[in-house]
C-alpha cells in the first residue's frame, strides 16, 4: 500500500528573544533547511512560521521570505497558521484567539497570497473550548499529538490519517502527530526511519504524520553537523522521492483527497512530556519513577495511553510568577476590549506569546528577557487603556483580594495575602516591571545533578541531558521558602549572616513574611496591618506591624510602624527585603553607590552599616534611589536560579536581593520611612 508522508515543520522564536540568537537560529536551521528542500520541488511539505519570527525575518532577511513565498506559490509548501504571536490559545480570551488567528491569516494573504486552512496548535495544548474560535476563523484542520488520541482509547495503528470532531454540528479535522516518527526525525539513521515508515503500509490508514520543530534541524545539540554537513536532510528528501511506495504531500492536500478515519472527541491534553513538566516538582519525580518502572517491565508502550500527568494550566499553579503575568494579561485584555484601541491590542497580542508563561525542557519562564518582553508589551498596552487610581479585586483568582495602584508613571500590584508584599512595580517610562523576579524552587530535574565536567559527546535529543554542572552552578542549588516580592519583612537576630540570607537558610523570628495582612485603601495609598508575634525559643512576644504604601509619579514610599506588647530582645532586627529585577543586574556595568560612594556592581555581594541612601545605576539607563529616615545595615546579594535548557543547565540571574535592617527596639513607636525613586 502507498504511504503518504505528511511532513510539517514549525519554526518559532519568542517575542523579546535576542537578535543574535535569532540570527544564529536562522543561519543554523531555517535558512539551510529551506534551501535544501527548495532544490526538490517534488518534495511537498507543510510549514509554519510564527509571527515574532516572521517579523524578524522581514526586517533582517526579506530574501528568505521571498524564497518561502516561491515554495508556496509553486505548490511545494503549504503555509499554516497559529495565533500570530504564538499564544496558547486555550489560555487567552475568545476574542483574542480570533484576533490572533485572523492576524496570522491576514499576513499570509498579503505576503503569500494564500488563505490558510490549517492550524498549528501552540504546544499542542488542546481544550475543546478553542474549537469555536478555529471554526469562526475558517480553520478546517488542526494538528495535535497522537497522545491525545491514545488518551481516549485509540491504538497507534489506528492513527495514520485524520479524524473529525464537531462543535454544535460544525466539523473540524484533527491530525495526530506520530511521536515515534517525531523522535526518529532527524536523530536516527535513515534506515531506521524508513524501516518505521514501511510498517505504516500495514496500518489501517496510509498517512505517515510528522509535524515538529524546525529548530530540530540545526539548532538542537549536534544536529547542524548531522543534518547538513552529513546531509541527513538531503538524503532523507532524496530517498523519500526515490521510494515508490512513499509520496510526500501537504496536510491540506491529504485532507482534500482522503476521507476521515472516524469521529473523535479529545480530552484536555498536550504532548506526553508536557504532562510531566506541568506537575508539581515532587509529583514529577514520582511520575518519572513510574514511567521508568513501566519501561523496565517492558510495559510502557502498552500502557502509555493510561499514563497522564498534569495539564498546561497547571503551570499557573506551579509558578505564581507565571500566574501573575497571565492574570495581568487577562486584565489588560478586558481593558483593550473596552477601549478598542488597535495599537494597544497589538501590544496585548505580543504580551500573550506563550514561552515565558511556562517551563519545560527549554528555559521559558526562567529566562528574564522573555518575561521582561511580556511585561514590556503589557505595560505598553496598559499605558494606553488603563486609568489612574486604586482598584481592589481578586486579580490573581485565588479567592483573596489584591490592590492595584496606578499613577502617571507606575503600576503597582500589592498582595496582602503573601506578606503584604509588592508583586509588580511596573515603570511606564522604562516599560519594565522592577518586581519581575523568580523564586528559587526545587525542580524535578535537580535530582541527580552532580559536580564535574561535561563530556564532549553530543546528545541525540534534548530529552537526554547530562546532569553535570560546574561548581558555581552546583552551589546555586538553593531554594527559597518565601516569594521574592518587594517590601517583605523578616525578623532576625545577630546570628544570621549574609551567607544565610543568600541561601535562604535563616530562621525568621516573626510570622509576617508568609502570612496575610489586613488592608484598607484611600485615594492615594494602601495601609496593610498584621498582629503577629516574635518567637524566641519557648518565649513569644506580640508585635503589631503596619505599613503604608504611597505612590507618586515614578516613586513609592513605605511607612512602617511597630508596636510590641512585651520585651523584645536587644539583638532582634527588622529586615525589609526588596527584590529588584534589574534590566542588567548581572552586568558589570550596573553600579551601586552607598551614600554617594561607588562600591561595586549589582552582581556583587555587599555588606555595609549605617547607610542612608542606595543608588543603583543600571546599564539600561534606569536609575534607582532607595533611602530611609533612619540609617540601616545592609546586605545585597544577586539571586541566581539553576534551570534546565536544551543545552544542559543554566545559571541565570533573576534578581538583586536587598535587606535593609534596623534593631526593633529603636523602631518601637517611631515611624520608619523608606523611599524608592526611579529616574
Please give the positions annotated as active site.
123, 213
How remote is the C-alpha of 219 from its chain's centroid?
Answer: 20
Other Cβ atoms closer than 10 A to 560: 20
How remote is the C-alpha of 367 from its chain's centroid?
Answer: 8
Q: Which of 495, 530, 525 is nearest to 512 (CA)?
A: 530
With beta carbons less than 8 A apart as the criterion, state whether 185 and 210 touch.
yes
Q: Count of alpha carbons within 13 Å of 63, Cβ hemisphere only?
A: 3
Q: How far is it, in rounded angstroms, from Cα 491 to Cα 665?
A: 12
Q: How many helices (H) and strands (E) does the chain have?
A: 21, 28
Q: How far is it, in rounded angstroms, from Cα 6 to Cα 75?
A: 14
DSSP 81: B
Longest pairwise C-alpha distance within the chain: 90
Q: How far is it, in rounded angstroms, from Cα 105 to Cα 76?
A: 19
Q: Which residues pair with 505 in a beta bridge?
A: none
Cis ω for the linkage preceding 67 (within 30 of 0): no
With beta carbons less than 8 A apart as the criterion, state whether 628 and 622 touch.
no
Other Cβ atoms closer than 10 A to 241: 14
177 phi and psi angles, rounded to 5 deg: -75, 135
With beta carbons less than 8 A apart as the criterion, state whether 308 and 341 touch.
no
Q: How far is it, in rounded angstroms, from Cα 555 to Cα 623?
A: 12
With beta carbons less than 8 A apart as the criterion, state whether 384 and 341 touch.
yes
C-alpha cell belonging to residue 632? 540601616
362: region left, alpha or beta (phi > 0 left; psi from -120 to 50 alpha):
beta
How buried is 283 (Cβ within 10 angstroms: 0-12 exposed, 13-18 middle, 19+ buried)? middle
Q: How far is it, in rounded angstroms, from Cα 157 to Cα 150?
A: 11
Q: Which residues pair with 635 in a beta bridge?
A: 607, 659
Instruction: Enumerate residues 6+ apart whose C-beta is below 8 A from 255.
Output: 117, 140, 141, 162, 173
395 phi and psi angles, rounded to 5 deg: -65, -35
Q: Which residues pair with 643 in a beta bridge?
A: 650
Q: How far is it, in rounded angstroms, from Cα 351 to Cα 345?
A: 10
Q: How far is it, in rounded angstroms, from Cα 658 to Cα 646?
A: 32
Q: Which of 626, 578, 229, 285 is nearest to 447 (CA)?
A: 285
Q: Which residues pair with 532 in a beta bridge?
A: 543
Q: Among the residues of 258-396, which ranges form H helices?
A: 272-277, 281-296, 300-303, 315-318, 320-339, 342-350, 368-385
Instruction: Enumerate residues 6+ apart whose C-beta is below 8 A from 28.
Output: 218, 219, 224
Q: How far is it, in rounded angstroms, from Cα 452 to Cα 649?
A: 13
**Sequence-ordered strand ranges (E) for 54-150:** 77-79, 118-120, 141-145
Amino acid at each position: 500500500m502507498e504511504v503518504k508522508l505528511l511532513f510539517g515543520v514549525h519554526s518559532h522564536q519568542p517575542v523579546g528573544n535576542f537578535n543574535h540568537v535569532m540570527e544564529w537560529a536562522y543561519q543554523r536551521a531555517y535558512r539551510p533547511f529551506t534551501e535544501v528542500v527548495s532544490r526538490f520541488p517534488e518534495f511537498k511539505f507543510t510549514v509554519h512560521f510564527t509571527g515574532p519570527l516572521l517579523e524578524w525575518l522581514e526586517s533582517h532577511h526579506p530574501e528568505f521570505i521571498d524564497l518561502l513565498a516561491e515554495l508556496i506559490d509553486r505548490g511545494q509548501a503549504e503555509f499554516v497558521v497559529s495565533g500570530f504571536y504564538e499564544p496558547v490559545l486555550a489560555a487567552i480570551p475568545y476574542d483574542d484567539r480570533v484576533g490572533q488567528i485572523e492576524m496570522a491569516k491576514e499576513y499570509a494573504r498579503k505576503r503569500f497570497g494564500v488563505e490558510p486552512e490549517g492550524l498549528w496548535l501552540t504546544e499542542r495544548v488542546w481544550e475543546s473550548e478553542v474549537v469555536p474560535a478555529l471554526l469562526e476563523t475558517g480553520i478546517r484542520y488542526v494538528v495535535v499529538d497522537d497522545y491525545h488520541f491514545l488518551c481516549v482509547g485509540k491504538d497507534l495503528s489506528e492513527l495514520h490519517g485524520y479524524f473529525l470532531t464537531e462543535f454544535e454540528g460544525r466539523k473540524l479535522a484533527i491530525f495526530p502527530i506520530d511521536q515515534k516518527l517525531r523522535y526518529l526525525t532527524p536523530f536516527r539513521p535513515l534506515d531506521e526511519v524508513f524501516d518505521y515508515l514501511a510498517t505504516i503500509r500495514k496500518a489501517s490508514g496510509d498517512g505517515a504524520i510528522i509535524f515538529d520543530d524546525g529548530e530540530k534541524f540545526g539548532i538542537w545539540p549536534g544536529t547542524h553537523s548531522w543534518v547538513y554537513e552529513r546531509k541527513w536532510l538531503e538524503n532523507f528528501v532524496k530517498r523519500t522521492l526515490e521510494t515508490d511506495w512513499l509520496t510526500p504531500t501537504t496536510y491540506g492536500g491529504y485532507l482534500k483527497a482522503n476521507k476521515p478515519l472516524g469521529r473523535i472527541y479529545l480530552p484536555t491534553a498536550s504532548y506526553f512530556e508536557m504532562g510531566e513538566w506541568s506537575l508539581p516538582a515532587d509529583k514529577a519525580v514520582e511520575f518519572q519513577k513510574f514511567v521508568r518502572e513501566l519501561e523496565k517491565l517492558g510495559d510502557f508502550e502498552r500502557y502509555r495511553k493510561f499514563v497522564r500527568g498534569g495539564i498546561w494550566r497547571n503551570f499557573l499553579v506551579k509558578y505564581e510568577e507565571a500566574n501573575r503575568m497571565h492574570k495581568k494579561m487577562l486584565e489588560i485584555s478586558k481593558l483593550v476590549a473596552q477601549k478598542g484601541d488597535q495599537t494597544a491590542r497589538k501590544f496585548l497580542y505580543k504580551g500573550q506569546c506563550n514561552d515565558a508563561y511556562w517551563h519545560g525542557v527549554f528555559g521559558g519562564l526562567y529566562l528574564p528577557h522573555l518575561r521582561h518582553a511580556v511585561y514590556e508589551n503589557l505595560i505598553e498596552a496598559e499605558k494606553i487603556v488603563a486609568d489612574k487610581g486604586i482598584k481592589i479585586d481578586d486579580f490573581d483568582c485565588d479567592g483573596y483580594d489584591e490592590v492595584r495602584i496606578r499613577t502617571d508613571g507606575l503600576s503597582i500590584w500589592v498582595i496582602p495575602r503573601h506578606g503584604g508584599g509588592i508583586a509588580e512595580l511596573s515603570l511606564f517610562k522604562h516599560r519594565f516591571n522592577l518586581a519581575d523576579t523568580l523564586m528559587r524552587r526545587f525542580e524535578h530535574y535537580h535530582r541527580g545533578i552532580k559536580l564535574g565536567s561535561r563530556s564532549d559527546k553530543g546528545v541525540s535529543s534534548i530529552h537526554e541531558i547530562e546532569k553535570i554542572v560546574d561548581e558555581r552552578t552546583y552551589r546555586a542549588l538553593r531554594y527559597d521558602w518565601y516569594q521574592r516580592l518587594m517590601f517583605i519583612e523578616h525578623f532576625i537576630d545577630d546570628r544570621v549572616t549574609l551567607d544565610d540570607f543568600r541561601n535562604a537558610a535563616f530562621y525568621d523570628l516573626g510570622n509576617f513574611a508568609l502570612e496575610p495582612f489586613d488592608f484598607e485603601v484611600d485615594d492615594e495609598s494602601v495601609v496593610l496591618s498584621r498582629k503577629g508575634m516574635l518567637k524566641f525559643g519557648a518565649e513569644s512576644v506580640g508585635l503589631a506591624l503596619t505599613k503604608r504604601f504611597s505612590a507618586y509619579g515614578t516613586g513609592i514610599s513605605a511607612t512602617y510602624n511597630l508596636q510590641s506588647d512585651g520585651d523584645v530582645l536587644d539583638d532582634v532586627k527588622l529586615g525589609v527585603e526588596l527584590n529588584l529585577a534589574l534590566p542588567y543586574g548581572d552586568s558589570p556595568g550596573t553600579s551601586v553607590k552607598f551614600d554617594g560612594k561607588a562600591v561595586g556592581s549589582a552582581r556583587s555581594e555587599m555588606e555595609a552599616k549605617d547607610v542612608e541612601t542606595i543608588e543603583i545605576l543600571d546599564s539600561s539607563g534606569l536609575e534607582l534611589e532607595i533611602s530611609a529616615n533612619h540609617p540601616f545595615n545592609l546586605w545585597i546579594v544577586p539571586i541566581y536560579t539553576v534551570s534546565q535548557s536544551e543545552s544542559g543547565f543554566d545559571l541565570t540571574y533573576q534578581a538583586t536581593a536587598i535587606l535593609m535592617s534596623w534593631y526593633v527596639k529603636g523602631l518601637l513607636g517611631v515611624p520608619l520611612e523608606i523611599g524608592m525613586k526611579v529616574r
